[in-house]
Structure 1
């Protein structure tokens, strides 16, 4: 079984019984960071209805942009369209927001009303279609658990 195939199973074991959404997101990004090869950032942008922005949530990596408008950059596009963005070369993406100049490819998976999961890599074309599918399964399991948690981290 590949590293990404195990992720969803590991996530479920890790967050089973946990109701704090920030704790869930923090451990989810730590799991991704520890498991995925050749990445330099993994984390979440959480949608804030009050400001209509994606706010930086739990992450692992270098300092990041704190607020992103829906429709802007890779993260904002994924959230606005509710479609995964798999970008082989972020420097070719119109409106790309460069938080870390070392990032060359990016995978952003929408999490419905919660926001997005963002994973960056210093390697061009780092994310395959198969890995995208498995990480979408990971994100779906995460959303199911977040939906069951009693409170949303940003009101």
Structure 2
């Protein structure tokens, strides 16, 4: 589905390269949408065996669809619904091996079988979540969690605080 870039080295080394690329993409750019769009495109070209990568942004009440790579998606997600809502509400990364077994899963794409969602916080304020889906069961592991959390930490520095 995505045009895949070729990365060499161990998975941690590959993630370090992508995080370095993110630094370069967002350096000096203050527009949140531009930075989120490039971050989604970067992940879409880097990650193997995924079918969606993007952001849901917190509007003060619920998560609203932001920049992404993949098929059209659900537009609004309450904080008490699905993997994205749970990650935002519980303020922790959610790695779900089988989304169909997750209570309250929101099926935006029937092809999705596993998911990782990283909440984005800045100075204690919820900005949104990074959501990545895969058609494979158990696609995401601790290495993905660790480095995608680092990716989000870098990205959050370029995003404004909510009004």
Q: Same fold (TM over 0.5)?
A: yes
Asked whether the equivalents of residues 71 and 78 of structure 1 are also in contact (C-alpha less than 8 Å), the reply is no
What does residue range 135-150 of structure 1 map to in structure 2 within 5 Å? 135-147=148-160
Q: How many residues align?
A: 148
Paired with 1:32 and 1:57, the residues of 2 have a C-alpha distance of: 15
Residue 27 of structure 2: aligned partner: 16
Q: Secondary structure at the match of 1:63?
A: coil
Asked whether the equivalents of residues 43 and 119 of structure 1 are also in contact (C-alpha less than 8 Å), the reply is yes
Paired with 1:82 and 1:8, the residues of 2 have a C-alpha distance of: 22
Paired with 1:10 and 1:146, the residues of 2 have a C-alpha distance of: 17
Equivalent residue for 1:118, pick from 131, 137, 152: 131
Q: Secondary structure at the match of 1:6?
A: helix
TM-score, reference length from structure 1: 0.92
Deviations 1:47-81 (Å, cap 9, x if unpaired)?
001xx110000001001000000021000000001
Residue 57 of structure 1: aligned partner: 66
Structure with more helix by fraction: 1
Paired with 1:101 and 1:17, the residues of 2 have a C-alpha distance of: 39
Paired with 1:131 and 1:7, the residues of 2 have a C-alpha distance of: 12
Q: Secondary structure at the match of 2:148?
A: helix
Asked whether the equivalents of residues 4 and 36 of structure 1 are also in contact (C-alpha less than 8 Å), the reply is no
Paired with 1:58 and 1:121, the residues of 2 have a C-alpha distance of: 18
Q: Secondary structure at the match of 2:55?
A: strand
State the Cα RMSD in Å.
Answer: 1.2
Quote the offset at 1:4 in angstroms. Answer: 2.2
Residue 116 of structure 2: aligned partner: 107
Quote the offset at 1:5 in angstroms. Answer: 2.8
Runs of 4+ in 1 over 4 A off after TM superposition: none
Which ranges in structure 2 are unaligned for 5 or more consecutive residues?
A: 1-8
Q: Secondary structure at the match of 1:116?
A: strand
TM-score, reference length from structure 2: 0.87
Q: Does 1:81 align with 2:98?
A: no
Paired with 1:81 and 1:5, the residues of 2 have a C-alpha distance of: 27
Paired with 2:66 and 2:80, the residues of 1 have a C-alpha distance of: 18
Residue 47 of structure 1: aligned partner: 58
Asked whether the equivalents of residues 79 and 110 of structure 1 are also in contact (C-alpha less than 8 Å), the reply is yes
